């Protein structure tokens, strides 16, 4: 097996080796090093040149990471990678939208060195600015690993299906949430119990808020929307709702009704603009998304010529993410550069005025979103309750498709579940406000959108 920092012996390639500087030796960084070691010959053959690691930077130089890194130069300051003459490409695998990671990416772009990153937060918050900076300095930022792990989603949107006008992209983009929802259904445990198990197994962080409250998915959706619709990544334009309030009752009712609950990120065109939303959804058992379990991710893409394309795979983990990072490195090795971050800004890469901005896009408010709705009510067992609820729906011009009320002992509180036909969010919230105020309703109603 060749050394981590040397080309293949007796290489006949005419191009010089592509030399990497890696900042960050956590799970992803070490996964990249392992992959380049294990598949060295295959990767170099496919690229037509050797790919070697000349320097790395990490906070703890002495830490035992399970691989012999003694042949690679360590730099205490990641900025040294940018200044080094023997580093052609910077791999930013530190993470975070600010601080060291952003400073490193900015410096590398200004120095004209291509950047490969898995940093979704950085792109979601600073993608437009980085696009402009890269255009000004004839550099590039590659980010296949930032969304959906090992699934080649960025390349599919930008290249494989790039001739299509996209109408909708939706998917399961967070493995932690999908694992929790899958396990709740499989074991009958509640959210808190399942979360604790997920933390013990390493699927969830000690502070799981970023995942379970939907922000991780929202960061990824900002990037997807920019690629699909030319939007400027802006978290303020994304509706975000997590899975903390999903109960075992809801999961069981969903199954009874022919659905499964998934946390989806959705960006789509409707009559009033572009939707960008993250929230739990009920998806039919016949949907490919309903079959995606545990920590896997999946994305459905709809284009005006290709129709629907479905991608599924590992959305996180050292190997899957490293696969995506190295795929970007291989593109740079073959092509010498990468496209602009986002297609709508590609004019900047071809001599247009650098002041050019991403186009203004009309975003659709959440009130305009249309879907079916699941509504679960805890009510007192009294005559006339259903007629009052029906009256609230009728006032908001909402049609009820089906109703479930299980047998119960007379006088005991009862759970009622209603499924509506497609309506808009504004109408549903109007009905929900009325229903919540009804005297027989004894608990906060639970609403989940249905994506057919």
Give, for 53, the enclosing helix (H) or strand (E).
strand 51-57
DSSP 393-425: HHHTT--EEEEEE----TTS-EEEEEEEPSEEH
Please return the burial class of 165, using the count of CB atoms within 10 Å of its CB with bins 0-12, 13-18 and 19+: exposed
Question: For the purposes of burial, counting CB atoms within 10 Å of the CB of 450, is it exposed (0-12), middle (13-18) or buried (19 or more)?
Answer: buried
Provide the β-strand partners of residue 115.
90, 141
The answer to whether the CB of 130 falls within 8 A of the CB of 109 is: yes
Q: What is the H or E stretch that residue 222 is in?
A: helix 215-229
Q: Tell which residue, 297, 302, 290, has the closest CA to residue 148.
A: 297
Q: Using CB atoms within 10 A of its CB, is residue 85 exposed (0-12), middle (13-18) or buried (19+)?
A: exposed
> What single string gives the DSSP state of each residue in 305-346?
TTEEEEEEEE-SSHHHHHHHHHHHHHHHHHHSS---SSGGGG
Cα separation values, 311 from 229, 262, 277, 297, 341, Å? 19, 16, 20, 8, 22
Contacts with 249 (C-beta within 8 Å, 6 or more apart), sequence order: 376, 415
Residues with a known catalytic role? 220
Strands 259-270 and 18-23: unpaired
Tell me how crowded residue 27 is: count the other CB atoms within 10 A of its CB.
Answer: 16
The residue assigned the tokens 């070490």 is 30
- By DSSP bridging, strand 141-142 and strand 370-379 are unpaired
Write the DSSP assignment of 348-401 as a string of letters. GGGT--TT--PPP-PBPPGGG-EEEEEEEEEE-S-TTHHHHHHHHHHHTT--EE
Q: What strands, in cross-sheet order, belong to the sheet with 141-142? A: 73-75, 51-57, 18-23, 89-92, 115-117, 141-142
Closest CA to 178 of 260, 255, 249: 260
Distance CA(259)–CA(248), nearest Å, equals 14
Residue 367, both tokens: 């009130």
């Amino acid at each position: 097996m060749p050394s981590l920092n040397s080309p293949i012996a007796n290489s006949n390639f005419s191009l010089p080796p592509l030399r990497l500087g890696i900042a960050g030796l956590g799970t992803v960084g070490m996964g990249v090093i392992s992959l380049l070691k294990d598949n060295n010959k295959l990767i170099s053959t496919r690229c037509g040149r050797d790919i070697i690691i000349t320097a790395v930077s990490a906070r703890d130089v002495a830490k035992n990471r399970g691989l012999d890194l003694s042949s690679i130069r360590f730099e205490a300051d990641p900025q040294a990678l940018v200044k080094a003459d023997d580093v052609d490409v910077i791999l930013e695998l530190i993470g975070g939208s600010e601080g060291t990671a952003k400073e490193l990416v900015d410096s590398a772009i200004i120095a004209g060195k291509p950047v490969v990153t898995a940093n979704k937060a950085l792109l979601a918050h600073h993608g437009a600015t980085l696009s402009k900076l890269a255009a000004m300095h004839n550099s590039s930022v590659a980010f296949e690993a930032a969304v959906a792990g090992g699934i080649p989603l960025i390349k599919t949107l930008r290249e494989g299906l790039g001739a299509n006008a996209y109408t909708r992209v939706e998917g399961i983009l967070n493995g932690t949430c999908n694992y929790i929802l899958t396990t709740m259904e499989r074991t009958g445990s509640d959210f808190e119990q399942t979360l604790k198990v997920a933390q013990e197994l390493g699927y969830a962080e000690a502070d799981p808020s970023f995942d379970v409250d939907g922000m991780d998915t929202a960061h990824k959706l900002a990037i997807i929307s920019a690629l699909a619709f030319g939007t400027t990544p802006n978290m303020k334009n994304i509706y975000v709702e997590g899975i903390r309030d999903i109960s075992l009752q809801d999961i069981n009712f969903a199954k009874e009704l022919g659905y499964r609950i998934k946390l989806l990120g959705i960006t789509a065109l409707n009559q009033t603009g572009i939707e960008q939303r993250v929230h739990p959804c009920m998806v039919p058992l016949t949907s490919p998304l309903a079959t995606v379990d545990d920590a896997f991710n999946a994305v459905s893409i709809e284009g005006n010529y290709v129709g629907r394309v479905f991608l599924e795979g590992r959305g996180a983990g050292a190997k899957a993410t490293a696969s995506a990072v190295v795929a970007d490195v291989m593109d740079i090795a073959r092509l010498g550069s990468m496209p602009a971050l986002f297609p709508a800004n590609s004019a900047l890469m071809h001599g247009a005025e650098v002041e050019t901005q991403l186009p203004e896009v009309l975003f659709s408010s959440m009130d305009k979103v249309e879907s079916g709705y699941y509504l679960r009510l805890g009510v007192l067992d009294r005559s006339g309750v259903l007629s009052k609820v029906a009256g609230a729906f009728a006032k908001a011009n909402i049609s009820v498709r089906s109703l479930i009320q299980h047998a119960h002992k007379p006088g005991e509180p009862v759970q009622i579940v209603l499924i509506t036909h497609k309506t808009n969010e504004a109408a549903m919230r109007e009905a929900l406000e009325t229903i919540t105020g009804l005297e027989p309703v004894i608990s906060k109603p639970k609403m989940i959108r249905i994506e057919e």
